[in-house]
Amino acid sequence: MNLSELTLDREGLAAAIACEDAAFDAALREKAYRVKVDTVGPEVYLRGLIEISNNCVKNCLYCGIRRDIRCPRYELSEEEVLAAAHVAAQRRFGSVVIQGGERTDAAFIRKITRLLKAIKAIDTGDDPPLGVTLSLGEQPREVYEEWFDAGAHRYLLRIESSNPDLYRKIHPSDHSYDRRLRALYDLKEIGYQTGTGAMIGMPFQTAEDMADDLLFYKSFDAPMIGMGPYNPHPETPLTLTGAPFPSAERRFALGLKMIALLRLLVPDINIAAATALEVLDPRGREKGILSGANVIMPNITPEEQMVKYNLYDRKTLMRDSAITERIVVGYGRWGDSKHFRKKNFY
C-alpha cells in the first residue's frame, strides 16, 4: 500500500491497519509525527502515574488484577499518594493521574475526594496547581460530580472495544457495554476532559474493529486517547481460551500505527504513548511519540507496590528518567488538549 492511497474512512483505515508493509508504516509514522508537531507542537506532556490500588470489583477477562485472580493486593495510604504527588510537583510534571481498580465503596470514594483537595493545595511554585486525571472505572454520576467539584478535571475510561459484540466476548456477562457508554457520556456532560481508548491486537479483533475504534474516538469527540497493544496475562480467561492473536512484533507495529492513524484523523487531541508499548520494545513510548503521540505517564507509584499492579505480563518498571532526556518536555504545564481548549474557549 502507498501512503498516497490512504483514506481516513472505515475502508481506508482498515486497509491501512491490515497492511504489513514496513515502508508504508514508516512513511505513515513520519507523516503523523509532522502533523503532530505542526498541530499541537513538539512538546510532550507528562502525567505522573500513581497506581492507588489493585483491588477491583470487576472481572474483565483480560486483566491481571481482575477480582477472581489470586495476586497480592495493595492500597496506597493517603500519605503515600500525597508523597508521590509531591514528587510530581518537584519534578514539574504539571499533572498526575490517579489510576486503580474499580471500587464503589463509600470509604474509597471519600478518600479520593480528600486526596483531590489535598493534591490541588500542593505548592507548585510559579506553576499552576497540579492537574489531576482520574482513571477509576465506572462510577455513579454523583461520584463523578463529587470528584469533579473536588478538583479532578480529566477522566480516562477506556471502552476497550467499540464493537459491542467484541466487548461482550472480553467481559463477563454482568459487565455492560451500554453502562460503559453511559459512564462516558456522564463524564463528558459533567465537564471532564474525557479520554477513552481500546486494546490493540487482541483475540477475536479484526482490522475493521480497530478502524471502528478510531472512528468511535472521533465521533465521541474525545480530547485525549490512551490506547495500547494487548499484552496477554498468562492466568486470565482470555489467554486461557487459547484464541489466537497477533505476534508481539505485529502488536507493537499495530500500536504505533493506530497512534499515527489517529493523529491524522483527529490532529489536535492528546494521545498517550502507553506503557503497554514499552512492554514490547524498550524504547516503545519514545517510538510512540515519534508516531504522533504527545503524552507520557511516568510511573511514580512507590516501587514495592508498582510490581503488584500487574495488569499484564512483563510490566515494565522503567522509571522514565531516560526517556525525558530524549524528548521535548512541556514542564510545569497541564498540557490540556488543543481540541478541548478550542471547544471551551481558553
Residues that bind ligand SF4 (CB under 6 A): 56, 58-60, 63, 65-66, 101-102, 137
Nearer CB in complex with ligand SF4: 291/305: 305
Residue found under cell 478535571:
153
Q: Which is nearer to ligand SF4, 50 or 289 (CB)?
A: 50
- Least distance from ligand SF4 to the Cβ atom of residue 196, Å: 13
Q: How many other CB atoms are there within 10 angstroms of residue 313's CB atom?
A: 14
Query: Judged by CB, which is closer to ligand SF4: 64, or 332?
Result: 64
- Cell 478502524: give the residue: 211
CB 6 within 8 A of CB 12: yes
Q: What is the nearest approach in angstroms of ligand SF4 to the Cβ of residue 188? A: 20
Q: How many CB atoms lie within 10 A of CB 303?
A: 10
Q: How buried is residue 193: exposed, middle or buried, by Cβ count under 10 Å (0-12/13-18/19+)?
A: buried
Q: Which is nearer to ligand SF4, 44 or 60 (CB)?
A: 60
Cα–Cα separations (whole angstroms), residue 200 to 3, 69, 170: 22, 23, 13
Q: Which is nearer to ligand SF4, 158 or 287 (CB)?
A: 158
Q: How far is the CB of 328 from ligand SF4 (least distance, A)?
A: 32
Minimum CB–partner distance for residue 50 and ligand SF4 (Å):
15
Q: How far apart are CA 165 and CA 232, in angstroms?
A: 20
Is the Cβ of residue 160 or residue 278 nearer to ligand SF4 in the bound state? 160
Shortest distance in whole angstroms from residue 301 CB to ligand SF4? 14
- And the C-alpha cell for 289? 511519540
Q: What would you report as the CA-atom Rg of the chain, rounded to the nearest whole angstrom?
A: 19
Q: Which CB, 25 or 160, lies closer to ligand SF4?
A: 160
Smallest separation, CB 152 to ligand SF4 (Å): 18
CB 104 within 8 A of CB 183: no
The answer to whether residues 296 and 289 touch, using CB atoms and an 8 Å cutoff, is yes
Please report, as a single letter, which amino acid is at residue 175.
H
Q: To the nearest whole angstrom, how small is the minimum distance from the Cβ of residue 171 to ligand SF4?
A: 8
Residues paired with residue 136 on neighbouring β-strands, in sequence order:
none
**184 Cβ partners below 8 Å, 6+ apart?**
157, 159, 194, 196, 220
